[in-house]
Amino acid sequence: MVNLKELAKQESKISSGHRMCPGCGAAINARMFMMGTKHPVVVANATGCIEVSTTVYPYTSWKVPWIHNAFENAAATISGVVSAYDVLKRKGKIKKEIKFIAFGGDGGTYDIGLQSLSGAAERGHNFLYVCYNNEAYMNTGMQRSSATPYGASTKTDPLGNKRQGKQEFSKDLTKIMVAHNIPYVAQTSISHYNDLIEKATKAFEIKGPKFINSLSPCTAGWGIKENDSLKVARLAVETCFWPLYEVENGKYKISYDPGDKKKPVKEFLKVQKRFSHIINDKKAIKKIQENIDKNWQDLKKLEKCDF
- pLDDT tens-digit profile, the chain (307 residues): 667 777 777 888 998 878 899 999 999 999 999 999 999 999 999 999 999 999 988 999 999 999 999 999 999 999 999 999 999 999 999 999 999 999 999 999 999 999 999 999 999 999 999 999 999 999 999 999 999 999 999 999 999 888 889 999 999 999 999 999 999 999 999 999 999 999 999 999 999 999 999 999 999 999 999 999 999 999 999 999 999 999 999 999 999 999 999 999 999 999 999 999 999 999 999 999 999 999 999 999 999 987 6
Q: What domain range is 271 assigned to?
A: 10-304
Q: Residues 6 or more apart from 107 whose CB is under 8 A from it?
A: 48, 71, 136, 137, 138, 139, 140, 143, 145, 147
How many CA atoms lie less than 13 Å away from 280 in the CB half-sphere? 1
pTM of this prediction exceeds 0.85: yes
CA-CA distance, 58 to 281, in Å (whole number)?
Answer: 49
Can you give the pLDDT at residue 63?
95
The CATH number of the domain holding residue 92 is 3.40.50.970
Question: Is 107 a member of any domain?
Answer: yes
Question: Is 161 a member of any domain?
Answer: yes
Question: Is 4 a member of any domain?
Answer: no
3-state secondary structure the chain: CCCHHHHHHCCCCECCCCCCCCCCHHHHHHHHHHCCCCCCEEEEECCCHHHHHHCCCCCCCECCCEEECCCCCHHHHHHHHHHHHHHHHHCCCCCCCCEEEEEEEHHHHHHCCHHHHHHHHHHCCCCEEEEEECCCECCCCCECCCCCCCCCCCCCCCECCCCECCCCCCCCHHHHHHCCCCCEEEEEECCCHHHHHHHHHHHHHCCCCEEEEEECCCHHHHCCCCCCHHHHHHHHHHCCCCCCEEEECCEEEECCCCHHHCCCCHHHHCCCHHHCCCCCCHHHHHHHHHHHHHHHHHHHHHHHCCC
Can you give the pLDDT at residue 17?
79
Question: Is 297 a member of any domain?
Answer: yes
Question: Is 3 a member of any domain?
Answer: no
Question: Is 254 a member of any domain?
Answer: yes
Can you give the pLDDT at residue 10?
82
- What are φ and ψ of residue 181, in 5° steps? 60, 40
CA-CA distance, 40 to 234, in Å (whole number)?
Answer: 31
Can you give the pLDDT at residue 16?
82
Can you give the pLDDT at residue 307?
61
Give the type of residue at 305: C
Can you give the pLDDT at residue 162?
85
Can you give the pLDDT at residue 77?
97
Quick one: how far is CA 70 from the chain centroid?
A: 18
Tell me how many domains the chain contains. 1
CA-CA distance, 217 to 212, in Å (whole number)?
Answer: 16
Can you give the pLDDT at residue 7?
75
Q: Are 40 and 96 in contact (CB under 8 A)?
A: yes
Question: Is 2 a member of any domain?
Answer: no
Question: Is 51 a member of any domain?
Answer: yes
